[in-house]
Structure 1
Amino acid sequence: MSAEWAIYTKNLSKSFGQKEVLNNCSLSVERGTIYGFLGVNGAGKTTMFKILTGLLSPTMGEVQVLGKDVVRQKADILKYIGSLIEMPVFYEHLSAKENLELHLAYMGEEHADIETTLLNVGLKKTGDQPVSEFSLGMRQRLAIARAMIHQPKLLILDEPINGLDPVGIREMRDLFKNLVEEHKITILFSSHILSEVENIAEKIGVISNGTIVREVMLNELKKDSSFNLEDYFVSTVEEGTNNV
């Protein structure tokens, strides 16, 4: 595998009993870039994310993250990954700061800047307010803070802007771009808000029925003045479905 890839999978498959969820998936995410991973509900996005973060083992195929084999070297990789997958769970009676303190203790990290991280995600003024009183958008902001608090090299985010209002979406967009441009972090994320994918992603991958049917640089697609990501996504998914 080339050292330029933060994530690289080849012929990756995952089955649960007789049900095949991922089939022959090849994914390549270049270091220091933002990659948008697109698919309808149930297409296999979350399963892919769980394999990349070591929560699931592949049935077959090659999976490398940050140049290491996820199955054999998981312990060496996890401290360099931040993730948000499915509905985040917190200690409801504790504040945002206290939740991050516990997370850092679990990670064995001692030098993270909690105050700056909370500021970056818009939670600086929550003080002692317990998470049980947080709105959906505030909980999502805290989940993003938890994913990035230990300054990982790679962020894997499943629907990170879910529940955010337009102002929050713009703030997260600016934050993600800054993390890549200033700190050279790589971001792999999924979102059903295609306009936001188009705003920040450099490359997209489309998964349909468990197979990655297309990987392409967005700037190549945008050379066509009539390009529309929603139309492209729908036609690509339909094409993938018809080829099953």
Structure 2
Amino acid sequence: MKAVSLITLIIFVVASSCSESKPADKVAINKTPMQLKEAEMPIDTSASFQIETHWVTPDSLFDFNTLLKAGEDTLQLVACQKYLIEPFGPTETQSQLQSSLLKGFSMKTKYIKEDNRTFPFVTLSKGNNRLLLYFATDPEELVQSNIMKGEINDSSVIFTNGVRIGMSTGDFYNQFFKVFPLALQHRYKTVVFDYCVDDIKHIYDFKNDKLTSVRFSHPNAGWNLEY
């Protein structure tokens, strides 16, 4: 009986030892999608650009053109995406406003006379959100974007690609980039997109990793108008 007990004890000890020495690679390791993306997804350098040592890959729809600035807290890029000139949908004529994402705004039209011509401007307002739009009356006048300037400050206004106030920095960059490293995502307080025809500029402001405001400017508009 003692021999049988001793054999049983030896088998138990050996089994316990084998159980404790399982390979470590069988331990489950959870990775976030962004970690998987950055660590394991190969970078297409022909479709990417570098910020310091980090590769950034724009989405093809963003139609990236040039990196203008990558400072301590400001990133400025040039792109040719149609979204930049029509962030709320087509607004080529004033009548299209009612079928765009701006249909909830109140509207006020004013006319500026200059050089025997009349220029119509439309001020849109909704809460803390304001836009100033210009609608060309001369068919030969080239206007890429009708937005002269603007300020979007709350989440009631949604852009065509889903951008809205309050979204996280990660969600914001996912709208425009296939790869935007985590090391850069929390760095910039201001992101500027210039349209490639030097027509309109989007300025996105962030605080505590959230989008807090969007501003529009039209550097070559030629007018200095209030809302």
For normalisation by structure 2, the TM-score amounts to 0.28
Higher strand share: 2
Q: Which has the larger radius of gyration?
A: 2
For normalisation by structure 1, the TM-score amounts to 0.27
Higher helix share: 1
